[in-house]
Amino acid sequence: MSTQQDNNFQSIIAHAKEYGFVFPSSEIYDGLSAVYDYGPYGSELKKNIRDYWWKSMTQLNDNIVGIDAAIFMHPTTWKASGHVDNFSDPMIDNKDSKKRYRVDHLIEAFAENLTEQGFRDKAENVLQQMDALLAKDDFAGLKKLIDDNKISCSISGTSNWTDIRQFNLMFKTEFGAVASDNPDDNIVYLRPETAQGIFVNFLNVQKTARMKVPFGIAQTGKAFRNEIVARQFIFRMREFEQMEMQFFVRPGTEGEWYKFWKEERLKWHLSLGIDAGKYRYHDHVKLAHYAKEACDIEFEFPIGFKEVEGIHSRSDFDLSQHQLYSKKKQQYFDTDIDPNTGKPYGNYIPYVIETSIGLDRMFLLILSNAYHEETISKEDGTTDSRVVLQINPKIAPIKLAIFPLTKKDGLPEIAKEIFDDCKQDFRCFYEEKDAIGKRYRRQDAIGTPFCITIDHQTKEDKTVTIRYRDTMQQERISIDLIKSKIKESL
């Protein structure tokens, strides 16, 4: 099973490169690990996915507005968010088995073992020591803790460990051209998530857009994580794009809003015509430090079910933290009447429901779902094959391809006239080279849903042939109807 799927995944990657969707970054210099560029059709598709999300969030929800926050943020942002302390994991390797462990996982497993053997007090003691050492970033102390307890690797059974190393997942850079005596003064991070740009602007947005809770703030943008291992094509990249919406609600209502967005987001995915059977929810059991409830929307990629979007109930953690660190009140005054007291709800820090989807993952999802290698039986009994991307017309890179059947007899002139007219309204593609069948196949390969062909009959009755990508069926329609025909599918 996996072989077939892996092959399919390889085919998709190869197709993405060959047809100008995704290229390895700086490929002429051998590429940069886990960084990719989007090509002519890829950038169109990516933009269309982003636009479709943006429209469904901001335009179709009158209580959601968008922002575009900077990638650089004040360094304290990341202290408040917990990323400076928590977004890095001390790791240790066993020299014999070559296994790498997160230090906290290793020690926790050891403690669990002790508990099972009835040494509950000792286990507690070890965990307490670990927490104290982790809080101080005392790696030497942690190493000593491991050595003193003779904690061993479950594979090799030995305690032959490397030193503990820190892997900070945030990219650092220097801010300002002048070097400071204290290097820490100049450090800024490339944001590891876009969410904080929304949280720190919570009151700016609420006041200027005159929003009333419940309301949301949407944003798309790049984020950066220095992953230890980043692989699987564009699934896990070091530079990636998120589409996030933070929805601010009155405390006590977060449960129903979490449920609402959990369902709403899946509906969005299904609105692109993707098989519901390829989706599933994965509810988190072990929650992040800020979360009350969390789930992933997973999709069955060729490499298995993987997370494409997360819905998190984040309580008031983020706003409270920013209030604490900035010493600026992050309260909202709710004038709605509380039926229990007959008075306004008053001041509170709103709770947050987050929906966060990886744009690049969504792109891969669309590509994986759309990619089909088909065998076609021809009338003369022979077979033929084609690769077709069955991308929903709403987000297809090119909506309409326009072909004159031949290069002469005035057909190109008519075709170009139609092209010039249609390109005002949606992305079109014109081509007169090669046999018509070959041109159709090229459009299939990049997912163009409609092709029209201008032939000699066009000159007589002003009709053209429209050919549908998925069924390969064709019919004659009047030139006047082309635009409306395409538009109704978008």
Partner RNA sequence: GCGGAAGUAGCUCAAUUGGUAGAGCGAUAGCCUUCCAAGCUAUAGGUUGCGGGUUCGACCCUCGUCUUCCGCUCCA
Footprint on this chain of RNA (rule: CB under 7 A): 2, 6, 9-10, 13-14, 17-18, 24, 30-34, 82-83, 86-87, 89, 93, 98-102, 105, 193, 227-229, 231-233, 236, 288-289, 303, 376, 378, 382, 384-387, 405-408, 433-438, 440-442, 445, 453-455, 464-465, 467, 472-474
Round to whole Å and give the CA distance between 94 and 100: 6
Nearer to RNA, 185 or 373 (CB): 373
Q: How far apart are CA 238 and CA 227, in angstroms?
A: 6
φ, ψ (nearest 5 deg) of residue 484? -65, -35
CB-based contact 316:352 (threshold 8 Å): yes
Query: Which CB sits closer to RNA, 28 or 60?
Result: 28
Shortest Å distance, C-beta 207 to RNA: 28
Smallest separation (angstroms) from RNA to the CB of 337 = 37
Q: Whole-number minimum distance, CB 333 to RNA, in Å?
A: 30
Nearer to RNA, 301 or 351 (CB): 301
Instruction: Specify the residue, 227 or 300, whose C-beta has the smaller distance to RNA.
Output: 227
Residue of 205, 234, 194 lying closest to 354 (CA atoms): 194
Residue 67 or 303 having the CB closest to RNA: 303
- Contact predicate 39/21, CB 8 Å: yes
Q: Is residue 402 within 8 Å of 422, Cβ to Cβ? A: yes
Strand pairing report for 400-404 and 450-454:
parallel
Distance CA 110, CA 88 (A): 21
CA atoms within 13 A on the CB side of 241: 19
Nearest distance, CB of residue 152 and RNA, angstroms: 16
Written as one string, the DSSP assignment of 80-118 is HHTHHHHSEEEEEEBTTT--EEEHHHHHHHHHHHHHHTT
Residues in the chain: 490
Nearest approach, Cβ of residue 156 and RNA (Å) = 12
> Is 37 in contact with 23 (CB distance < 8 Å)?
yes
Q: CA nearest 369: which of 300, 443, 470? A: 300
How near is the Cβ of 335 to RNA at its closest, in Å?
34
CB of 171 to RNA, least distance (A): 15
The residues, ordered by sequence, that sit 6+ positions from 422 with a Cβ below 8 Å of its Cβ are: 400, 402, 428, 482, 483, 486
- Shortest distance, position 346 Cβ to RNA, whole Å: 32
Helix/strand/coil percent split, the chain, to 5: 40, 30, 35
| C-beta closer to RNA: residue 18 or 185 | 18
The closest alpha carbon to 477, from 458, 490, 461, 464, belongs to 464
Nearest distance, CB of residue 229 and RNA, angstroms: 4
Q: Which CB sits closer to RNA, 307 or 334?
A: 307
Closer to RNA by Cβ: residue 43 or 232: 232
215 vs 290 by CB, closer to RNA = 290
3-state secondary structure of 341: coil
Cβ contact 169:192 at 8 Å: yes
Nearer to RNA, 284 or 423 (CB): 284
Least distance between RNA and beta carbon 463 (Å): 9
How far is Cα 452 from Cα 447, in angstroms, rounded to an integer? 15
In angstroms, what is the minimal distance from the CB of 64 to RNA?
22
Q: Which is nearer to RNA, 39 or 141 (CB)?
A: 39
Pairing of strands 64-66, 215-224: parallel
For residue 261, the SS3 value is helix
Can you tell me the distance from the alpha carbon of 468 to that of 194, in angstroms, rounded to the nearest whole number?
A: 39
> Minimum Å distance from CB 77 to RNA?
13
Tell me how far apart the alpha carbons of residues 200 and 205 are, in angstroms, rounded to a whole number: 10
DSSP state for residue 447 in the 8-state scheme: T
Nearer to RNA, 129 or 406 (CB): 406
